[in-house]
Structure 1
Amino acid sequence: MPTIRLSVRELVEFLLRTGSIDSRFTGFDRANEGARIHRRLQKAAGEGYAAEVFLTAERTMEGIGFTIEGRADGIFTDEDGTVVIDEIKTTAAPTDAITEDMNPCHWAQGMVYGAICAEQQELETLDVRLTYYQVDTDEIIRYTRHFSAAELDAFLNDLLRQYLPWARRQLDWVEARNRSLGALQFPFPAYRPGQRALAGEVYRACAAGKAEQKGGTRLFCQAPTGIGKTMSALFPALKAMGEGKGEKIFYLTARNTTQAAAEDALARLRAADPALSLRSVTLSAKEKACLCKDAEGRPACLPEACPYANGYYERLKDALADLLDSAVPYDRAALTETARRHRVCPFELGLDLSEWCDVVIGDYNYLFDPTVHLRRFFDAAGDYIFLIDEAHNLPDRARAMYSARFCKSSLTDARRAIGKGKSALKTALTKADRGFLEARRAVTKLAPRRGSAPTEPPTEDLTRQTSLLDTEPAEAAFPLPEPLLARDGTVFLQELPKELLRLLFSLQAPLQDWLEANPEADAHAQLLELYFAVQDITRAAERYDAHFVTQLTARGSELEWELLCLDPAPFVDASLAAGRAAALFSATLTPPGYYRSVLGCPDARAVALENPFPPEHLGLYCLPGISTRYRDREASVQAVSDALAALARAKVGNYLAFFPSYAYLRQAYEDFTARYPDIGTLAQESGLDDAARAAFLEQFGPSPAKTLLGFGVMGGIFGEGVDLVGDRLIGCAIVGVGLPQVNPRQEILRRYYDEAGGTGFDYAYRFPGMNKVLQAAGRVIRTQEDRGVVLLLDDRFARAEYTRLFPRHWHQLQYLRSTTELEQQLAAFWARNQ
C-alpha cells in the first residue's frame, strides 16, 4: 500500500492556513526565541508535565496509508484526572488580539495530537489547551477545550480526506519519478576519466545512508577541475533516490555560477531523456526574488504594502497546482511568472514548492545558517541527500554564518532618526549608546592605537615568532573580561561582555513596540535594520561557547562588537546530521584532514581522483628566485613584471596574473604597463558587481588577435568559479603563496588551532593560502582540448611544507633559474602544442 509521511504541522498548515504574509509578526524570526520560551514554560510546569512528546499514528484512507507524526509541546494530567494536550505558541500580536479563535491552525495541531494520544492511551475524552505567550509583555493567556476521542478522530480523518487529492498527486509523481530514474542513462556517450570513480563514490555514500555512522554518511571528494563534478555527483544521487535511497536532493553552492551549473546538468539530463520525471527548484535570495520593494529597495513584506503578500495563503494552493501540473524546471523566471499570474510572493512560493520537488538548488545558508536554514526540512533529520559543491568555501562561509557583528554607530544613528521627544525607545537607545561609549573608551585604554597594523604574513618559523598575542593589556574601568589579546584598537575576549549584552537585551522590547506602532515612519527601515542586528548578536550569544571569541574594535567614535566563530565544526556536523548522506566535493580539498577537522567530519571517507587530462597539455613552471613576502614586495615588482612579460609574449592569447592583495596588484600593474606598453592589460577593481564582473570576463574572448593580460586577486571573484574554456585563457601566473594578511583575527585563529592540536599556522595561513593558489591554477585547463601554462612566482613554492600540498598531477613542475630560461621553456611548450 502506498504511504505518505506527514508532520502534524505540515498537514494542518497546508490545509488550514489562511491570510497574509506579515513581517510584523513573522519577519522578526521568532523561531529561536520561541524555542527558548517553550523550554521555560515546560520547565515551569513542574513534575508530571511531559515535554516534547513524540507522537505517531498510522491511518488508511481510500487505499492510501498515512503516517502522521510530530512532537506535542506538553502532555499532563490535570487535577480532575483529565489528560491535557498543551500547545504552546509565542506571539507578537497585541494582547487584545490574542483571542480563542485567533488562529484555527493552533487548535487543529492540538486536536491532531489529541486524536493520536487518545488512540494510544485508549481515552474516551481529552482536553486541548492553547498556551499563548506574548513576547513583549511576558503575559501568558490560556484557553482550554474539551473533546471526546470520537470528535478528535473524526477531525483527523476529515483532514486526511481533504489532503487525499494532494497525496494521490504526490504518490503518482514519486512512482513516475522512480520509474524514470531507474531507466535514466548517463547523458554522455562515455564517462570522462575519473567521472565514473566519482559517481561510484557518491552512489555508495547515498546507498549507505545512516548505516555507517550516526548523522549520515559523509564523503569528501577532491576531483580535478574539468572532470564534470556536477554531473558526476547529481547523476548517481538521482539513481540512488530512484531506488528509494533518499527522499530529496539538496544541491548547495557558494555562488550563483555553480547554481547555474547544477541547472545546466539537470537540463542536459532532461534533454537526453524527454520522458524524465524530475522536479527541481532553484531558491533565490529574497532580495533578488522580490516583486515589491520599498523606496530603499528592501522587500516590503506587509499586506498593506505588497499585493503579493496580501492574501498569499488564500491563493497558494492554486499557484502550487499550476506549477506542479507544468513540466518546466522551476527556476527564478518560472517562479516569477507564476507569482505574477497568481499574485503570490515568488520567494515564499519557491520555499513552499520545494516541499514537492525532488531536487532543491540553493545557497549553503539554506542548510547551515542558524537564522535562515529551511526549518520545514532541517529541524529534524530526514531522508535527504546533500551535495555540497565547491566545498573548500564552506569553512569560511560557516564561520561567517555562526558569527555576528554589531556597531555602536547604529545606536547613535537610530537615536537621531526618531527625533526629539521622550519615549521608552529613546531612553533605551540613550542608555545603550552611553554604555557602548564607555566600552569604546575601555577598549582604547586596553589597546591604544599605534599606527597601521602590519600586513606581512607572519614568519613560518614558529620557534622565533613574536606573536601578536604577547601584548600585555592595560587596565580599564568598563567591566570587560580579561583580554586574550589587546593590540592597536582591538581587544579579544574569551568570555562574553555581559554588560553590553544586557544593554542590547533591554533594547529589544521597546524597539519592537516602536516598529509595530510606527510602520509608516521614515525611520522604520533604519530601525528595522537595527532590530535585526540586535537579534543577530543576541542569538549568536546564546550559542557562544569555547568555539567562539569576542572581538571589540575601537575606531574613532565607533565601537565594533563581533562574536567570532573560530571553529564551525560542531555546527556544520549538526547540520549535516539532518540528512542520510552528504558528498562534499571540490577541485581543492587538500589536505583532507584539514577539511574533515574544520567541518566536523573526522571519520568521513576522503578520496582524491586523478587528473583526467594528459599532463603534456599543461606547462607548469616556477621561478623560485623571486620572494613575494611583504618585506620584499617593492624590490620584487620588476622581476615579477619581467616574468609576466615572458609569459604573455610566448604566444598570442589571454592570460591572468593573480596577486595576494590589491596593493601589490597595483604596484605590479603600474610597473608593467609603464615598461611593457605593447602588451594589452586589464586590472580587477575591488567591489565589482555582477555586471562589471561579466564585462571583465567578456574581454577574454575566443580566438584573440592580440594578447591580453588580466591582473586579478587570489581568492577573488576571478580566482575561482570562472570557466574560460579553450583559448579564452591559455595561461596564468600566481604571484605568492596566497597567505592571508596578518591581523589580530588571523592570529586568534592561529592560537585557537595551536591549542587544539599545534596546527595554528597551517590552519590560519598556509592551508587557506594554498587553496587560493590551486583554485587560481585550475582556471587554465578546463577540457580535454585545452592547452595552457601555469607560472608560480615565489621561492616558497620550492619548500617541502608547500610542495606536499601540490596535487599529484603537478609532478612535472619545472624550477627555472631565470626569465631567459622561462622564455626558452615556454617556446618549447608551445612548439609542442600547436
Structure 2
Amino acid sequence: MSEDIQISVRTLVEYVFKSGSIDARFRSQTAMIDGTRIHQKIQKTYQEGDQKEVYLSTEIHYEGLSFLIDGRCDGILFQDDKIIIDEIKSFSQPLDQLEPEGYPVHWAQAKMYAYIVAMDRELEEIDVQLTYVHVETEEKKSLTQKYTFPELKGFAMEVIQGYAPYAKLLHDHRKKRDQSCKELSFPFKTYRNGQRKLAGAVYKTIVDQKNLFARAPTGIGKTISTLFPAMKAIGEGQLNRVFYLTAKTITRTSAEEAFARMGSSGLCTKTVTITAKDKVCFQEETNCQKEYCEFANGYYDRINEAILDILSNENQLTREVIESYARKHKVCPFEYSIDLAYSVDAIICDYNYIFDPRVSLKRLLEEHKKSTALLVDEAHNLVDRGREMFSASLNKEPFLQLKKDFKGVNQAIYDTASKMNAWFIKMKKMNENQKEFVLEHLEESFLEQTRQFAMTAEQVLQLETSPLLLEIYFKVNQFLKIAELLDEHYVIYAEKDRNDLKIKLFCINPSSLLRQMGKGYRAKIFFSATLSPMPYYQDILGGSEGDYSLSIPSPFNEEQVDVLIKPLSTRYRDRERTRDEIIDVIQSLLKKRPGNHLIFFPSYQYLLAVYDQFKQIDGDTQTLIQEAGMTEKEREDFLAAFKPDQTETLLGFAVLGGIFSEGVDLIGDRLNGVIVIGVGLPQLCFERNLIKEHFARQEKNGYDYAYIYPGINKVLQAGGRLIRSEQDHGTIVLVDDRFLQRQYQQLLPSEWRQFTII
C-alpha cells in the first residue's frame, strides 16, 4: 500500500530547482503587494472564456509513495485551438536584466501545471507561457514553449525523483516518530506533585483544540510536563509539529534537555533550536551577500544536501550541531536553521517567530497550523514583548541628517527628508512647553508624506547603497505597517529629547494582536510560575471565553522555605535614609545563615549604591555583581560561582527582572537564600502612566495593570530561584513595608504567607 505525501506545486519545484545565493541587499518592501497587483492587472486582460486562479491537483506514485500535488495556476488561456498555461512573475529589476530563457524554477512551476491540465484534458500537447512584468513600469515580456504530453510526464517524474529522497527520509522518520511517541513513558521514575495534573491538562487542551493558561510553581518541571503530553499527542495523530516558545536563551536549554531525556527513553523526534542571526553568523560583520560571505554564496545550490545530511544523522539540531554541519556544507547557519524548521517535529525558538509580524515564519501554511501546538514558556514575559512587537516609532534627527547628506546629491531624498523634518519641527512648536504629549490621531497628510518618503527611498536604494537611508527606510516601513493596526488599543504620543522628537505608535494592550497572530493553531498553552493574577494574564494575552485555566499549588513543603519580611521603605525618596538598615539586614542574614545568596534590586543604580557601601563595611565577604551587557560566557561564569558545599559565603548582586532573576536553576546548596529589595514596581514614567489611564478608562484597576502586577511578577520570579527541588531549603527576605499591605499579601504565593516580621 502506498503512503500519501501532500505537497504544493510551488514547494515541490522550489525544493528541486531553487539555486543561487542568499542576497540580503535592498529589496522592495512592497514586492508582495506589487506582485498581487500585477497578477490581478494581467488577469484582467484575459479574454472571455479564459480562466484565472485555477485550482489543480494530481497524484503521482513513485517507489511506494503516493505524491498528492496541488496548486493554483495563474491562468489557463484558450486561443484559436490552443490551450496555454500562463504563469505570471513580477520582476523588480529592469527587464533587460532578466535571463533570456527565464528561470528554471519558474518554468518548472508552469510545466507542472501544464502536466496536470494536459493529463486531465487528455491533450497531446500544450503551450506554456511565462509572463514577466516589471512592478513599476508594468513593461511585459512573455516567453512561450510548446510541450508534448510525454515530455511533460517525463519532466514530472524527474521532479518527483529529485524530491523523493527528502520525502522518503521524512516519511520513514515520521512512522518511527509516531510509534516512539505512542510507546513513550514519562521519563522520570515518578511525577512530582502537580506534574501529572499539568501534563493531563496540556493533553486535553490539544485534543479539544483549545487554549490553556497554566500557573505552575517554579521547580515543578513545567518543561517536561508540557512537552511530554505534546509528544504523546503526536503519537495519537492529534499533532504533527510543536513550537516551544521562549523569551530567554536559558529556557531554550531546558527544552533541549527535556528532549534529550525523552530521547534516552526511546523518543525519536527531530528538533531544531533557532538562534538569532547575529549570534550564529560566522562572519565578523553580518552582511548576507555573496560577495562578502562564502556561506551566502551558492547557499541554495548546497542546502538540500546539507538538510538531507543533518536529518539523516542527527535528532537534536542544537546551535552547536547546526554550526558544525553549516561549516561542513558551507551554508549560512541561521538560514539553515530556518529551512530545517519546516522539516522537524519541534522548533525551540523566541516568541517573535510566531507573534511578531516582522519576522514570523511566513511559510508555515494555514493547513500546517491546524496540526501545530504552541507551548509558550514564561508567558508573563509575552505582555511587554507583545507591546514591543506591535509598537513603532520615528525620530526627527535621522531625517535632518539625511537632508544634510543628500543636499546637492539627490534632490528627491533631500525634498522628502526636508518635509519629514519640517513636520517634526511643527509638532515641537505646537507643543513647546511639553516634554511628552499625546496625539489624538495621525494626520493623513503626514502618513502620505511618510509613504512618499518610503517610495522615494526605495527607488534610490535600488540604484545605490546608503546605510542610513536603508535603516530609516526599514523604520519608516515598520511605522507604516503598525499605523494600519491603529485602534482603541493604541496611544500615539511624542517625546522630546533636546533637539530630537520621537513619535511613537504605542500598543498598550497587545491582546487582540496576540490573538490574531496565534490564530489557526490547533492549541496554545501559556504557562509560567507567575501567571498571577490569572484573570489579568488571560485578559492581556488575548484569552477568549471557553479557554481552559489551571493553577497548581506548590509541590514543596512550607517548611522548606523561611520567609522573612523587613518593613522598610525602599521608595525612591527614602533609599538613602534606609540604606544602612538594608546593609544590616544583609549582614544579619549572612551571619545567621552562611552560604550562597542572591540579592535583587529594582534598579542598577540602587544596586551600585548599596554594593559600594556594603564593600566599605564588609570587604571579606566574596561578592559578584551583575554587569550591564554581560556576554553569555560572563553570565555562565557568574552562575558557575554558585557551587554546592562551599565553605565561604558568596553574595551575588543582581537586578529584579534581569537575566539572573528568571529561568536560572541553582539546585540544592548552590543557593541558600534570596533577598528581594522593594516590590518591583516599574519606574514611574509617561508610558506606564498611559497604560494606567488606558485600563482605568476600561473600568479596570489601571495602577495594578501598569505597576503592581508587573512589579510583583519580578518579585515572585526572583524568589522562585530558591526552591527548585524536594531537597532544597532556604530563606527568602522581602525588604519593603508594602509587603505587609493587603493588596500585596494577596499576590504572594500561599507558601510565602507564613512569614516572620524582622
Superposition TM-score, scaled by structure 1 size: 0.83
Provide closer, same or farther for how the CA distance between residues 637 and 631 of structure 1 changes in structure 2, counting only shifts above 3 A.
same
Provide closer, same or farther for how the CA distance between residues 355 and 492 of structure 1 changes in structure 2, counting only shifts above 3 A.
same
For 2:262 and 2:158, locate their aligned partners in 1 and report how far apart those are by CA, in whole Å.
41
Correspondences of 1:187-198 after superposition (within 5 Å): 187-198=187-198
* Residue 563 of structure 2, aligned match among 585, 597, 620: 620
For 1:403 and 1:123, locate their aligned partners in 2 and report how far apart those are by CA, in whole Å.
55
For 2:752 and 2:393, locate their aligned partners in 1 and report how far apart those are by CA, in whole Å.
41
Which residue of the partner structure matches residue 109 of structure 2?
109
Is residue 608 of structure 2 the alignment partner of residue 608 of structure 1? no
Which residue of the partner structure matches residue 463 of structure 1?
none
TM-superposition CA deviations, 1:560-617 (whole Å, max 9, x none): 2322222222222223224212222111111222222222122321111121112100
For 2:224 and 2:249, locate their aligned partners in 1 and report how far apart those are by CA, in whole Å.
17
Shift in Å, 1:139:
2.7
Provide closer, same or farther for how the CA distance between residues 445 and 124 of structure 1 changes in structure 2, counting only shifts above 3 A.
farther
- Larger deviation: 229-238 or 106-115? 106-115
RMSD of equivalent CA atoms? 3.1
Which residue of the partner structure matches residue 98 of structure 2?
98
Q: Is the 8 A contact 2:128 2:147 kept in 1?
A: no
* Residue 291 of structure 1, aligned match among 271, 282, 289: 282
SS at match of 1:252: strand
Which residue of the partner structure matches residue 238 of structure 2?
245
For 1:378 and 1:410, locate their aligned partners in 2 and report how far apart those are by CA, in whole Å.
38
TM-superposition CA deviations, 1:757-809 (whole Å, max 9, x none): 42422222221111111111101111111111112222322233222222233
Is residue 438 of structure 2 the alignment partner of residue 496 of structure 1? no
- Larger deviation: 41-50 or 105-114? 41-50
TM-superposition CA deviations, 1:635-683 (whole Å, max 9, x none): 3333333333332322111222222222333343344444555544444
Which residue of the partner structure matches residue 475 of structure 2?
533
Is residue 658 of structure 2 the alignment partner of residue 657 of structure 1? no
Provide closer, same or farther for how the CA distance between residues 803 and 206 of structure 1 changes in structure 2, counting only shifts above 3 A.
same
Shift in Å, 1:90:
3.9
2:16 partner letter: L
For 1:126 and 1:555, locate their aligned partners in 2 and report how far apart those are by CA, in whole Å.
66
Which residue of the partner structure matches residue 5 of structure 2?
4
SS at match of 1:375: coil
1:7 partner letter: S
Is residue 316 of structure 2 the alignment partner of residue 318 of structure 1? no
SS at match of 1:336: helix
Shift in Å, 1:174:
0.9
For 2:365 and 2:692, locate their aligned partners in 1 and report how far apart those are by CA, in whole Å.
32
Is residue 424 of structure 2 the alignment partner of residue 440 of structure 1? yes
For 1:208 and 1:149, locate their aligned partners in 2 and report how far apart those are by CA, in whole Å.
50
Provide closer, same or farther for how the CA distance between residues 396 and 149 of structure 1 changes in structure 2, counting only shifts above 3 A.
farther
For 2:509 and 2:139, locate their aligned partners in 1 and report how far apart those are by CA, in whole Å.
39
Which residue of the partner structure matches residue 708 of structure 2?
766
Q: Is the 8 A contact 2:112 2:156 kept in 1?
A: yes
SS at match of 1:791: strand
Which residue of the partner structure matches residue 633 of structure 2?
691
1:584 partner letter: F
- Larger deviation: 38-47 or 330-339? 38-47
2:223 partner letter: T
Q: Is the 8 A contact 2:54 2:76 kept in 1?
A: no
1:202 partner letter: V
For 1:406 and 1:88, locate their aligned partners in 2 and report how far apart those are by CA, in whole Å.
37
Provide closer, same or farther for how the CA distance between residues 739 and 56 of structure 1 changes in structure 2, counting only shifts above 3 A.
farther
Shift in Å, 1:333:
1.9
Provide closer, same or farther for how the CA distance between residues 95 and 590 of structure 1 changes in structure 2, counting only shifts above 3 A.
same
For 1:238 and 1:271, locate their aligned partners in 2 and report how far apart those are by CA, in whole Å.
14
For 2:732 and 2:258, locate their aligned partners in 1 and report how far apart those are by CA, in whole Å.
29
* Residue 280 of structure 1, aligned match among 271, 293, 300: 271
TM-superposition CA deviations, 1:475-532 (whole Å, max 9, x none): xxxxxxxxxxxx42x233242344444344333344344444345xxxx444433333
Report the count of equivalent residues. 751
Unmatched tracts of structure 1, length 5 or more:
210-216, 450-486, 817-821, 823-834
For 1:637 and 1:85, locate their aligned partners in 2 and report how far apart those are by CA, in whole Å.
79
For 1:277 and 1:769, locate their aligned partners in 2 and report how far apart those are by CA, in whole Å.
42
For 2:543 and 2:37, locate their aligned partners in 1 and report how far apart those are by CA, in whole Å.
30
Shift in Å, 1:748:
1.9
SS at match of 1:250: strand
1:444 partner letter: K
SS at match of 1:15: helix
For 1:501 and 1:689, locate their aligned partners in 2 and report how far apart those are by CA, in whole Å.
40
- Larger deviation: 366-375 or 638-647? 638-647
For 2:468 and 2:661, locate their aligned partners in 1 and report how far apart those are by CA, in whole Å.
35
SS at match of 2:679: coil
For 1:246 and 1:71, locate their aligned partners in 2 and report how far apart those are by CA, in whole Å.
27
Is residue 672 of structure 2 the alignment partner of residue 730 of structure 1? yes
1:345 partner letter: C
SS at match of 2:698: helix
Provide closer, same or farther for how the CA distance between residues 60 and 29 of structure 1 changes in structure 2, counting only shifts above 3 A.
farther
SS at match of 2:658: coil
For 2:323 and 2:489, locate their aligned partners in 1 and report how far apart those are by CA, in whole Å.
41
- Larger deviation: 532-541 or 147-156? 147-156
TM-superposition CA deviations, 1:126-167 (whole Å, max 9, x none): 7766554544x3535253647689476665454334323322
SS at match of 1:18: coil
Shift in Å, 1:358:
1.5
* Residue 712 of structure 1, aligned match among 654, 661, 673: 654
Provide closer, same or farther for how the CA distance between residues 39 and 127 of structure 1 changes in structure 2, counting only shifts above 3 A.
farther
Which residue of the partner structure matches residue 561 of structure 1?
503
For 1:752 and 1:124, locate their aligned partners in 2 and report how far apart those are by CA, in whole Å.
68
Is residue 396 of structure 2 the alignment partner of residue 408 of structure 1? yes
Which residue of the partner structure matches residue 372 of structure 1?
359
Q: Is the 8 A contact 1:435 1:500 kept in 2?
A: no
For 1:51 and 1:670, locate their aligned partners in 2 and report how far apart those are by CA, in whole Å.
74
Which residue of the partner structure matches residue 213 of structure 1?
none
2:563 partner letter: L
For 1:117 and 1:609, locate their aligned partners in 2 and report how far apart those are by CA, in whole Å.
58
Is residue 652 of structure 2 the alignment partner of residue 748 of structure 1? no
2:194 partner letter: G
For 1:95 and 1:448, locate their aligned partners in 2 and report how far apart those are by CA, in whole Å.
51
Is residue 493 of structure 2 the alignment partner of residue 551 of structure 1? yes
Is residue 271 of structure 2 the alignment partner of residue 329 of structure 1? no
For 2:542 and 2:115, locate their aligned partners in 1 and report how far apart those are by CA, in whole Å.
41
- Larger deviation: 188-197 or 496-505? 496-505
TM-superposition CA deviations, 1:690-728 (whole Å, max 9, x none): 333334334433323333333322111122122222222
Is residue 203 of structure 2 the alignment partner of residue 260 of structure 1? no
Identity %: 38
For 1:740 and 1:375, locate their aligned partners in 2 and report how far apart those are by CA, in whole Å.
35
Provide closer, same or farther for how the CA distance between residues 422 and 196 of structure 1 changes in structure 2, counting only shifts above 3 A.
same
Q: Is the 8 A contact 2:28 2:458 kept in 1?
A: no
Q: Is the 8 A contact 1:34 1:90 kept in 2?
A: no
* Residue 507 of structure 1, aligned match among 435, 439, 453: 453
SS at match of 2:172: helix
For 2:527 and 2:554, locate their aligned partners in 1 and report how far apart those are by CA, in whole Å.
15
Correspondences of 1:133-144 after superposition (within 5 Å): 133-135=133-135, 137-141=136-140, 143=142
Is residue 348 of structure 2 the alignment partner of residue 348 of structure 1? no
Is residue 385 of structure 2 the alignment partner of residue 397 of structure 1? yes
Provide closer, same or farther for how the CA distance between residues 39 and 741 of structure 1 changes in structure 2, counting only shifts above 3 A.
farther
Q: Is the 8 A contact 1:593 1:602 kept in 2?
A: no
For 2:565 and 2:365, locate their aligned partners in 1 and report how far apart those are by CA, in whole Å.
47
SS at match of 1:750: helix
Is residue 26 of structure 2 the alignment partner of residue 19 of structure 1? no
For 2:426 and 2:518, locate their aligned partners in 1 and report how far apart those are by CA, in whole Å.
41
For 1:782 and 1:408, locate their aligned partners in 2 and report how far apart those are by CA, in whole Å.
49
Which residue of the partner structure matches residue 199 of structure 2?
199
SS at match of 1:628: coil
Q: Is the 8 A contact 1:436 1:559 kept in 2?
A: no
- Larger deviation: 195-204 or 640-649? 640-649
* Residue 227 of structure 1, aligned match among 210, 216, 220: 220
1:772 partner letter: K
Q: Is the 8 A contact 1:540 1:563 kept in 2?
A: yes
Q: Is the 8 A contact 1:443 1:554 kept in 2?
A: no
Which residue of the partner structure matches residue 65 of structure 2?
64
SS at match of 1:517: coil
Superposition TM-score, scaled by structure 2 size: 0.90
Provide closer, same or farther for how the CA distance between residues 748 and 78 of structure 1 changes in structure 2, counting only shifts above 3 A.
farther
